[in-house]
Amino acid sequence: MFAADLSDVTILPDKGFYRPGEAVQITVRADAGTHINARIMYLSAELASVSAPITNGEAVISWTPPPQTPRGYGLSVDIYDAAGMVIATQTSAFDVLDRWIDAPRYGFLSDFSPARLTDTLMIEWMLRHHINGVQFYDWQYRWEDLLPEMDRFDDGLGRPQSMTTIRRLTDALRARSIAAMPYTAIYGASAAFYRQHPEWGLFDARSEVYDFGENSFIAIMNPAPGSPWNRHLLGEFADVLENTAFDGIHIDQYGSPKSGYDQDGNYIDLAEVMPQFINQTAALVQKHRGNAGVVLFNCVGNWPIDTAAPSRQDAAYIEVWSPYDSYLDLNRIITNAEALGGGKPVIIAAYIPPEQTINWRLANSVILASGGAHLETGEPESMLADPYFPRFGKLTPAQQPVFRRYYDFQVRYENMLSTTTTAGGDDLHQAVDLGEIRTRGITARDRVVPVVRSGGTFDTFSLINFIGVDQTNWNVPATNAPAVFTDLAVKIAVSRPVAKVWVASPDAEMTMNPTFLTFTVQDGELRFTLPNLNYWSMIVVEYAE
């Protein structure tokens, strides 16, 4: 079944996501074979089977999904030879959403130079990974003067940029239903601009302006509503929305300072000011982009999530730093932000070098199982390894199929993991019993961690395996992969009649499709055997109506 080299098969949806009523068109590229058959599934149910010939190495299929949103769908493609034998099988996914931010797969671009002459590889990489929103970092002329007066310019760090390139990229993404979001900073201005407007700054207790970066090349301005800087930056946002095709505003901050003083000595609490600024920006985006517009704000180090999450931002975007070092912190951050934001999506920016494969596999398992998304790719073959996005790393050809499966998995099973679920309570996390294998503890060390999401008629029990892993901090390189288990006896305490139990996992191509499990229930205890547990197995328990 899996004899052919799966690197020779590429599955490309034609859009990052689909709106209700849109036809899905998918291109399958294969170096061998005469025809394909694609099975389209919603969770564990097969909805359609579509066949197409392979001509010049490509087959194209089209299917119009039901209009319900949000919905994630799976695709399992068999490649046949002339004798009718299956020579390769590969999976993919797509989803139907009202807005991309309902189930974000946020990516990035960082090269806007005049030398960037082609978009093909970038678009195909994003489509293969179902990216539906992109942060343009660092695209602007200056932090305080976003749009240049000329086409070609050097940015604040001296990098050559081109508005022709930027406009071409936004158009190319929009044609594929991928939103383009411009990076901005809530209080950053060049040192030269501050010297022109010294009364606009945010000052410390010694009346010295706060600054940021090597050689203090960025000055921190006062973003409080009604301040001159506040009016200036909102005017810059309006200029961007009126003169580009960007789909909203992405707002950054630097994590520090958290408070300061204006020129008159009035105390400024940025935890109060930042949500006010978010709301001002949201009103501006609504005016220019309507309901399709999106506002995101970076809660650096998870601050100030308490005040920012309930604001008018469209998702909680959190850049994770110490002391949130453990894998379990990623789960706690997502669960907390989702609750504070009233169920808004959560996007995590946690920078892991691509060579740390064990780390990013475990981190992605925890993030996705917790209902979140991970900003980590966008440029072809990229993985963000640094908060300054142009310093991204590159995935090897051997890593790329594994990496892709996480993106296919989060789209395919979004209704089990994120869009229609909430975090399960402590009782559900404690309901899992693996016998001698530990499932409970303060840290993840040497245990299998259950992460539970609850829907109306089901619970999703993700088992994430840290047995044998030598590091339980996501930002410390791990050298030992999880121990692999087979035929694992599982017991789960249940209080409702069970109708179905099935499992899927992004660990291997053959485990991407759901597998129904034989089970018994006696005295409120569900029992079954899990065929495999490597990094992450997602078990879905569906209850009788």
Question: What does the pLDDT profile of the chain (545 residues) look like in tens digits?
Answer: 444 444 589 999 999 999 999 999 999 999 999 999 999 999 999 999 999 999 999 999 999 999 999 999 999 999 999 999 999 999 999 999 999 999 999 999 999 999 998 899 999 999 999 999 999 999 999 999 999 999 999 998 899 999 999 999 999 999 999 999 999 999 999 999 999 999 999 999 999 999 987 777 899 999 999 999 999 999 999 999 999 999 999 999 999 999 999 999 999 999 999 999 999 999 999 999 999 999 999 999 999 999 999 999 999 999 999 999 999 999 999 999 999 999 999 999 999 999 999 999 999 999 999 999 999 999 999 999 999 999 999 999 999 999 999 999 999 999 999 999 999 998 999 999 999 999 998 899 999 999 999 999 999 999 999 999 999 999 999 999 999 999 999 999 999 999 999 999 999 999 999 999 999 999 999 999 999 999 999 999 999 97
Residue keyed to tokens 């000055």: 219
The domains of the chain, with CATH numbers, are: 6-96 (2.60.40.10), 422-543 (2.60.40.1180)
Helix (H, G, I), strand (E, B) or coil at 46: strand
CA distance 410 to 403: 12
Q: How many CB atoms lie within 10 A of CB 1?
A: 11
**Would you say 94 and 411 are in contact if contact means Cβ atoms under 8 Å apart?**
yes
- Rounded Cα gap, residues 189 and 140, in angstroms: 12
Record the tokens describing residue 528, joined without a space.
């079954």
Both tokens of 239, joined, read 């200029």
DSSP letter assigned to residue 147 = S
Q: Is the pTM of this model over 0.85?
A: yes
For residue 264, give the DSSP letter: T
Is 91 within 8 Å of 73 (Cβ atoms)? no
